[in-house]
Chain A
Amino acid sequence: MIDGIIHCLVVLLLPPLLIGIITKTKAAFAGRVGAPLLQPYYDILKLLRKGSVFSTTTTWLFRAGPLVTLAAILTASLLVPLGRHPALISFDGDLILFAYLFGLARFFTASAALDTGSSFEGMGAAREVTFSCLAEPTLFVALITLARISGSLRLSTILTYPTPALWRATGASMLLLVAALFIVLLAENCRIPFDDPTTHLELTMIHEVMVLDHSGPAFGLILYGAALKLLVLGALFTAIALPVSTGSDLADWGLFLASMAALAVAIGVVESVMARLRLVRIPQLLVGATILSAFAMLLVLR
């Protein structure tokens, strides 16, 4: 019960902090002081109190897009175990629903982008759907591999099964899985090297350009949704990459928060030391990730 409440609180409150940590890390690398850690919270709260501007071209779908997207990601967040605690809802095959809820979110984000009639947003939408399409098989191959290791089709079991002992036993394949999932994590959340969320040139962006015309509360919801997506996929990643458990519930929650913060720092470091890939190389990297996960599966089979 308490775990459930903490789960909801984490889902509702933590996401913007991750973005804050990433920006702070990048600022540190650039030798700046950077915005305060809580800046994303201020941004979202401010946006919720601002008026909106709508394009004359847009229809109801433009307004519905951010809402459906956020609803889908929120629903997905109930399925993923945070830390070492089982998710609020768990059933056989929930991982399929999990992946498809992101598909639903993508459909609406991309459609809302096309609703503005701007070619920049069309470009962003096209890139988003294409790259996610290539990232999806990786996720499934990785989840099948983990399902085979853990003998279950529930995310809650699959993701709480890995332990340090398992890492020692099947290290190579776990390492490959972690690498593949990290690539998927960066691609799905539109981070460098796939997309640069802070560039000032619309032509080169993916996610940010899709939401260019949103404003006011809707944009606040979009920012929160993007951060939440990072949290949800990040939780999936850390469950495999840092499978440490202390045995005590509260300590586990603390460990979870620490691991998420570490992940945010890691993403910040990647963003500071890497450049964005050329667009034509992105599919190559995503296919490479699929091959990595397939390789992991092959090793588990042996």
Chain B
Amino acid sequence: MNSLADQLLVLVMLINLVMLGSSRLIFSIRAVAAQGVILGILPSLVHPLSFHLVAITASIILAKGIVIPYLIGDAVHKAHIRREVEPFIGYLPTLFLGAVCTALAFVFAARLPLAPEHRSLLVVPASIATLLTGFLILTTRRKAISQVIGYLVLENGIFVFGLLLTEAMPFMVEAGALLDLLVGIFVMGIVINQISQEFSTIDTSRLRALKEE
């Protein structure tokens, strides 16, 4: 583990905050993509170089940094929405909550029974902070697209945690998780497109009206 990895993790946490504070969906998607690319670079800094590692790095960057953002961006483009209009909680309060969550992540990380070699790193706090940010986005935003972004951030948080375990974790599990997500995104993209064509809105708070009586 070197200090460069730590600085990249700081960047990951900053991107969390940027996403909480921004209202433009395209901007959020780009931020998620940037976060994905950083996450792709991270394993290669942490572990000794091998073919296996190069494959992981390339596939992660491809999936998180290019394919998924492109798909969501496409959905945004088709649904003609540009910004999250009315979040349940305003941008400033969510930004503030995000900062509090990040601080709490450091507190939680200090309390976890970690192996001593993991204690001094930013991996665990960054992972928890990213997880919490994902939850925040999921709970405070209305648009289905924002929710998808929230899921992605959540997954990124889990991925950061996985960094500690890459050696123990078989490659297939990681790839499987990614694939799951990819399918999830596909389904969501299709669903969103359908909904927006049928109802000309993808505001999830209005989807409650669809329930069966």
Contact = CB atoms under 8 A, between A and B. Distances in A.
Do chains A and B make direct contact within the complex (CB under 8 angstroms)?
Answer: yes
Interface of A: 171-172, 175-176, 283-284, 287-288, 291-292, 294-295, 298-299, 302
A150 to B, nearest CB: 20
Interface of B: 3, 6-7, 10, 13-14, 17, 21, 91-92, 95-96, 98-99, 102-103, 106, 120, 122
A79 B95 CA distance: 34
Contacts of B102: 295, 298
Contacts, number: 41
A176 B14 CA distance: 10
B91 A284 contact: yes
Contacts of B3: 171-172
Contacts of B99: 291, 294-295
A298 B96 contact: no
Given A171-B3, A294-B103, A284 B95 contact: yes
Contacts of B120: 302
B10 A284 contact: no
18 contacts: A171-B3, A171-B7, A175-B7, A176-B10, A176-B14, A283-B92, A284-B95, A287-B92, A287-B96, A288-B17, A291-B95, A291-B99, A292-B14, A295-B13, A295-B99, A295-B102, A298-B102, A298-B106
A172 B92 contact: no
Contact of B7 (A172, A283, A298): A172
B13 A284 contact: no
A171 B10 CA distance: 11
A287 B14 CA distance: 14
Nearest to B120: A302
A298 B10 contact: no
Contacts of A171: 3, 7
Contacts of B106: 298, 302
A299 B92 contact: no
Nearest to B10: A172
Contacts of B92: 283-284, 287
